[in-house]
Amino acid sequence: MEAKIKNNEIKAEPAQKTICLVQLTRLGDLIQTAQVTKKLKASRSDIRVSLVARKQFADPLRFLLEEVFDEIHTVDFSGITNFEQNNVKTTTDNIQTLLTQINKTHISALINLSFSKPAGYLCSLIKADYKLGVHYDNFSNMIVKDHWSQFVYSNVLGSNLNPFSLVDLYANIIGIDKSSLIPVANKGKGKRILIHPFASLSRKRWKPSKWAELIYKLLKDNPELVIDIAGGKEDLVDVTSMLSSPVLTGFQKRIVNHVGKKTIKEMYDHLDLVDLFIGHDSMVGHLASYKNVQTITVSLGTVRPTETTPYQAGAYVLAPRTKCFPCQPSEKCDLYQCHSDISYQVACSVVEQIRKDGEVDFEALCKNISSFHLTSVDIYRSEINNKGNYRLKSMTNNAPDAKDVFRELYRITWSFLLDNTDENLPYPKLSTGSHQVLLNSIQGFQHLFELCEFGKKYSKFILQEISAETPDIVKIKDFSKKIDEIDHLKSLLIKTNPYLAPVIDFYKMRKGNLSGDNIVELTENSYLVYEECGNVCSVMYELIEKVIAEHKIKNGIRNKDKTSNV
């Protein structure tokens, strides 16, 4: 630490603080982490930010990561472990070499943005003043102390009702001002489109023949259009099958095939020539958004558009209205109904509208395409409000399904309770189905609230017993048993009310990570967790009541209109 001597006083200059982000997940997540870090650096240029990432993902993106991170530590787990040759001693020695390299710089805050076991253990071994996100204590118990990491662990990994984008969640975990550096998509007018028709899993991508149909229609209807196709070496078979489609025979001159030929850096540079990107949820979409190229994402299978759509205002998403969408990776599916529910005609019309007007007008879309195609698809446009919160806004007139309604209500609730921000959203439209689900879940929230009240009551009894002159351990144990029963009943409630899962799982996580060194502190904090959970129930109860009331009023008005018309 440097010191300045002035008027015989020694003033210590504070050393530059270092935040270390651990992101061991894939390329797309790394780009999103870079987007958050850009915001962090914009508001706090005095802070050094380092990154710990897997070598296989960080190396191809080094050109981009070096722009935002002051230091990058790459972890080559396969080299460190080398399961075929090493024994435990050599492996742990290799891990120590990695740790020595990371620990060379004093880390003020270590933030784990990847929610895997190896990342958690690695974070336990890295030395830092403060740790956020998943890590393990000395007894190998998982610790997640901060609210937003607890939220990600319980809501993003566990359910599909998370209303926030991953970039916003990362920003919330780090605690940065989201309103700076809001990326806005350039209008996708122009004559060059980049298509990335691939994804890591077959359930997340259309078959090559369907992409061939879309490319054919676009090239046939737009004689000046040029289409670039991006992809890696592993996509060579699919691209050959796509381009050998008979429908594309006369258009080969206007298709530029980059698959397996360009590195990520070369593709990133090539994006300067491109006006619009269309593809599935993949790294290339995030790369395009990084360059403010307008994106259209065709979300299929396990993809959750709210979480992973490229981070930019003005991005479009086509998502199927299939009941099981988005599915879980563990669910088997041979039918891929969600692939059929987005027709290439809808995708083509969306692209043409964006190319012509820079945006999608649903009324105009209805005139061009049969409602048969439109009723099975949702079209969303991304918005980022002045607080920097990212949201997908529906462009269609379709009534949202129950999952969408709950996502909006949870968005209001969590923003208010965890971020202290008000989200002003319109009342969601209700279908008969979603109305019924809301009516059922309102009772669920009532039950959950009552359980929380019992939790508070027994926590209070424990505190009273402890403060008695001669505390009775048997009584304390009995009350603790009651609390265990309450927690068990809360978990059972998810079976009958699955839409309550985000609240129940989040507070289960909070309860598993109570602060406190003794029974009094732990019980006090347990009381507070029940109190918080009860508050969420009250807010959700009130919101659902209002949505239902609004639905009834609207229906009433519509009925009156019908009567007067008659």
Reduced to 3 states, what is the DSSP secondary structure of residue 513?
coil
CB of 380 to other proteins, least distance (A): 24
Task: Give CA–CA dist 387/366, Å, rounded.
Answer: 33
Q: Which of 1, 5, 45, 83 binds other proteins (CB under 8 A)?
A: 83
200 binds other proteins (CB under 8 A): yes
DSSP 381: E
Q: What stretches of 59-110 show up as alpha helix (H) in DSSP?
A: 62-68, 77-81, 88-103
**Are 12 and 1 spatial neighbours (Cβ–Cβ below 8 Å)?**
yes
Query: Residues with Cβ < 8 Å from 284, sequence gap 6 or more?
Result: 194, 196, 230, 267, 277
Q: Which of 42, 201, 237, 324 binds other proteins (CB under 8 A)?
A: 201
CB of 353 to other proteins, least distance (A): 33
Binding mask 84-123 for other proteins (x = CB under 8 A): x-xxx--xx--xx-----------------x-xxx-xxx-
Scanning 134-142, 232-240, 313-321, 498-506 for contacts with other proteins by CB under 8 A, the matching segment is 134-142
140 binds other proteins (CB under 8 A): yes
- Binding residues for other proteins, rule CB under 8 A, total 30
Angle between helices 501-512 and 519-565 (to 10 degrees): 170
Q: Considering the complex, state which of residue 243 and residue 300 has its C-beta at the smaller distance from other proteins.
A: 300
Q: Considering the complex, state which of residue 77 and residue 362 has its C-beta at the smaller distance from other proteins.
A: 77
Which phi-psi region, left, alpha or beta, contains residue 7 (left: φ > 0; alpha: ψ -120 to 50)? Answer: left
Task: Give CA–CA dist 237/269, Å, rounded.
Answer: 25
CB of 428 to other proteins, least distance (A): 31
CB of 137 to other proteins, least distance (A): 9
CB of 304 to other proteins, least distance (A): 13
On the CB side of 8, CA atoms within 13 Å amount to: 0
Contacts 24+ apart (CB under 8 A), 137-144: 143/513, 144/509, 144/513
Q: Considering the complex, state which of residue 140 and residue 371 has its C-beta at the smaller distance from other proteins.
A: 140
Binding mask 40-69 for other proteins (x = CB under 8 A): --------------x---------------
CB atoms within 10 A of CB 262: 16
CB of 58 to other proteins, least distance (A): 12
518 binds other proteins (CB under 8 A): no
Concatenate the DSSP letters of all residues of 8-50 into one string. Answer: TEEEEPPPPPEEEEEE-S-HHHHHHHHHHHHHHHHH-TTSEEE
Q: Considering the complex, state which of residue 301 and residue 305 has its C-beta at the smaller distance from other proteins.
A: 301
Using CB under 8 A, list all residues that contact other proteins.
24-26, 54, 77, 81, 83-84, 86-88, 91-92, 95-96, 114, 116-118, 120-122, 124-125, 136, 138-140, 200-201
